[in-house]
Amino acid sequence: MKCDARALPRQLKTLRPVYVIHGDEPLLAQEALDALRTAARQQGFTERDRHDVGKGDEWDMALRSCDTLSLFAELKILELHSHNKPDAAAGKALEAFLKNPPTDILLVIVVPRLDAAAQKTAWFNRCDALGVTVGCPPLTGREHREWLQERLHRQQLVLGADALDWLSGQTEGNLLAANQEVLKLHMLYGPGTLEITQVQAAVGDSARFTLFDLTDTALAGDAAKTSRIFFSLKSEGLAESLVLWTLSREIRSLLVLAEGQHQGTPPGQLFQSLGIWPKRQPLVSGALRRLAPATLKRLNTELLDADMAIKGQSPDDAWDILLRISLDLAGVRLFDAPH
């Protein structure tokens, strides 16, 4: 059974034989694991055995360790932690173990995000059928705001809409920092209603963004946030070439889509040929309606200008060009390219 990390506590009244916790959001993964451990202790699992595993033989040895239970514990949690997804040998070891899982063992597997291919493997399907697979993906902007509001409520803190929006923007993409800021606000001011000035005085900018946040925000037409993400990535020392690569991919995909639509090719066929996921299709379609073909062609030319600047073949500043392209993609023409 697939389950979101935030919904897991409601699924722990009766434990399943195996749980897989996977995802890129460390706070959600840790809290899911803590909730599972607490529920297991309450249901008699008094011993916990943790193994950090890598290659397949390490998984096999860890699974075999449960053959020898403590003399004083009847039920045991067996935790397997890995920085990589299980390889083929590990998958076979898990399949063998789960064919007839011991009734006195609660198997907990903690791994990074598993992609679609990994979630189609036999071992994962067996875990999903026999137990619970817990996803811990990064939260979207709206989800982050809702999560933040719930954390504030726990600390008996009330923020107005403007203060909540500001705090959400400062901590977006970084739940660990967001949680720390909520605790800090409680320590500084105690329970009650806070004004935005109080929140701003106490909270630093802890937002964490990726290149994909940059392009998605630009495609959505949010120029202000696009600018903020751009300068955040620049301040982190990200290579200009990576920003160029990401923008190039989006702009050239939009050009192919625009040309395909002009020729009468069905949108679904175009999306499939470009590998654009169904969840992103509305975002890309909206950008395509907003951006004229002439704009896309101009942006494609400016990609070459940025490439020359990065390679030192032009006196222009590469970051200036990349900012101009990013904001133009978001619908704002900041300044014209030099002639």
> Do the Cβ atoms of 118 and 128 come closer than 8 Å?
no
Domain boundaries, the chain: 2-135, 141-202, 211-329
Question: What CATH number has the domain spanning 2-135?
Answer: 3.40.50.300
Rounded to whole angstroms, the Cα distance separating 182 from 188 reads 10
Rounded to whole angstroms, the Cα distance separating 251 from 248 reads 5
Burial 256-267 (b: 16+ CB within 10 A, else e): ebbebeeeeeee
User: 3-class DSSP state for residue 8?
Assistant: helix
Rounded to whole angstroms, the Cα distance separating 83 from 54 reads 7
pLDDT digits over 173-207, tens only?
889 889 989 998 998 899 999 999 999 888 877 77
Structure tokens at 178: 């967001």
> Do the Cβ atoms of 300 and 310 come closer than 8 Å?
no
pTM comes to: 0.67
Displacement of CA 185 from its chain's centroid (Å):
26
Q: What are phi and psi of 17, to 5 degrees?
A: -70, -25
Fold of 211-329: Zinc Finger, Delta Prime; domain 3 (1.20.272)
- Cα dihedral 93, 94, 97, 99 in deg (nearest 10): -110
Length of the chain as a residue count: 339
Question: What CATH number has the domain spanning 141-202?
Answer: 1.10.8.60
Rounded to whole angstroms, the Cα distance separating 154 from 74 reads 36
Rounded to whole angstroms, the Cα distance separating 282 from 276 reads 10
pLDDT digits over 224-275, tens only?
899 989 998 888 888 899 999 999 999 999 999 999 988 999 988 999 888 8
> Do the Cβ atoms of 8 and 35 come closer than 8 Å?
yes
Quick check: 64 pLDDT over 90?
no
Burial of 19 (0-12, 13-18, 19+ CB in 10 A): buried
Quick check: 67 pLDDT over 80?
no
pLDDT digits over 20-61, tens only?
999 989 899 999 999 999 999 999 998 888 899 987 789 989
Q: How confident is the model at residue 291 (pLDDT cuts 50, 70, 90)?
A: very high
> Do the Cβ atoms of 211 and 233 come closer than 8 Å?
yes
Phi-psi region for residue 254, left (φ > 0), alpha (ψ -120 to 50) or beta?
Answer: alpha
